[in-house]
Structure 1
Amino acid sequence: MITIYDLKPKFQNLLRPICCGLVNRGVTANQVTMSAIVLSAFGGLWIALSPDQNLPLFVLPIILFIRMALNAIDGMMAREFNQKSNLGAVLNELGDIIADALLYLPFVMIAGISAPLCTAVILLGIIVEMTGVISVQIGASRRYDGPFGKSDRAFAFGLLAVLLTLDLIPFAWIDYFFYLLIFLSCYTIMNRARRALDEAGPST
């Protein structure tokens, strides 16, 4: 199923010169991963401290794009420059979940946002990623199947931020927007689990 994650190879090709430059300067993949977490903490804190201001929401898509670039860069550094490590694997998986929580939880403080629905989307996002990780335990590859993975969540929250900033979405529609994200998240969980089970084959 099509997901924004499918664009990753082309995105990586654009970022490869930056990746090479960072490696030449002695920057490590783990440092890039931590930078993405710090950036997410900054963005989330800005929203939390100014939930009634438009500027943090307007800047959020830029923060999400930079975070996505950092996530792609740390992966390339690990694979292509022999920087893979157990610590890096842990930071990569935990970092994505932590960054999502830091960036998206402050949305519950924005007027008109349903805290239960927004929180449900974030929790389901964690389950989505854990489903992908658990697939490795049963002998399958790390699953990134869509339709609503990490990159798609970033796009959804970035879009919501822009719509709120420009006052282009009625508050009455926001709940339906979250209902859609909840449905897509649940479908993605089932899709990743099914694909993992199919790939792993019958248990012995």
Structure 2
Amino acid sequence: MPTIYQLKSRFQDILRPLCRHLATAGVTANQVTVGAALLSFLSGLAMLLLPGSSWPWLLLPLVLLVRMALNAIDGMLAREHGQKSKLGAILNELGDVVSDCFLYLPFAFLPFVSAELVTGLVLLAIVAEMTGVIAVQIGASRRYDGPMGKSDRAVLFGFLGVAVGLGVTMPVPFAALLGLACVLSAATIFNRARAALREAS
């Protein structure tokens, strides 16, 4: 199914000159991966500790965009500049899941947002990414099928972050969007598992 992840190749083309510059400067893929996780942690901490302040929420779309850029860059450094490693593969997968937790769970502490829906969506996101990784174990490629992949979640929470920053506190719209995202995440898990089994067979 369609997903924003399909735009990744164009995004990488834009970032490739910067990636070459970083490789020349001696920056490693693993350093970029850890940097993305650290950025996510600091942003999530700001949202958690400053719920009444608008700027951490308004900055969330920018943080998510930078995080996606760093994720693309670490992959290009690994593939195109000979920096692939087993540690890098572990950091890449764990970094994505941990960063999602850092950036999205603070929404659960807002009084007008359903903590159950936020937590459920984060758990479904973890299962979806695990399903994509498990595909490799059965002889398929790492699956990134949609409709609710990493990039799609980033767009959703970026939008919600701006809404919070602008003072929107209506529980029903938040619940509707989060509930829909949960349904789409469940569909993503099914799609990734089905595609992996089909590819492996």
TM range (shorter): over 0.9
Structure 2 residue 24 is the aligned partner of structure 1 residue 24:
yes
The secondary structure found in structure 2 opposite 1:129 is helix
The aligned amino acid for 1:64 is L
The secondary structure found in structure 1 opposite 2:59 is helix
Q: Deviations over 1:131-179 (max 9, x none)?
A: 0000011111000000100111111100111122224573222111111
Answer yes or no: is the 8 Å Cα contact 2:146–2:188 preserved in 1: yes
- Listed as ranges, the gaps of 5+ residues in structure 1 are none
Which residue in 2 is equivalent to 1:51?
Answer: 51
Which residue in 2 is equivalent to 1:70?
Answer: 70
Which residue in 1 is equivalent to 2:184?
Answer: 184
Answer yes or no: is the 8 Å Cα contact 2:144–2:192 preserved in 1: yes
The number of residues matched between the two structures is 201
Which residue in 2 is equivalent to 1:195?
Answer: 195
The aligned amino acid for 1:101 is C
Answer yes or no: is the 8 Å Cα contact 1:121–1:185 preserved in 2: yes
Shift in Å at residue 109 of structure 1?
Answer: 1.3
Answer yes or no: is the 8 Å Cα contact 2:15–2:73 preserved in 1: yes
The aligned amino acid for 1:114 is S
Return the TM-score normalized by structure 2. Answer: 0.98
1: CA distance between counterparts of 2:37 and 2:94?
Answer: 10
Which residue in 2 is equivalent to 1:87?
Answer: 87
Which residue in 2 is equivalent to 1:11?
Answer: 11
2: CA distance between counterparts of 1:169 and 1:41?
Answer: 24
Which residue in 1 is equivalent to 2:146?
Answer: 146
- Listed as ranges, the gaps of 5+ residues in structure 2 are none
Q: Deviations over 1:96-139 (max 9, x none)?
A: 00000011111111220111110000000000000000001111
Answer yes or no: is the 8 Å Cα contact 2:120–2:182 preserved in 1: yes
Moved more, 158-167 or 79-88: 158-167
Which residue in 1 is equivalent to 2:165?
Answer: 165
Return the TM-score normalized by structure 1. Answer: 0.96
CA RMSD of aligned residues (A): 1.0
Which residue in 1 is equivalent to 2:125?
Answer: 125
Answer yes or no: is the 8 Å Cα contact 2:104–2:122 preserved in 1: yes
Answer yes or no: is the 8 Å Cα contact 1:52–1:111 preserved in 2: no
2: CA distance between counterparts of 1:127 and 1:23?
Answer: 33
Moved more, 66-75 or 160-169: 160-169
Answer yes or no: is the 8 Å Cα contact 1:57–1:162 preserved in 2: yes
Answer yes or no: is the 8 Å Cα contact 1:41–1:99 preserved in 2: yes
Sequence identity (%): 56
2: CA distance between counterparts of 1:158 and 1:173?
Answer: 15
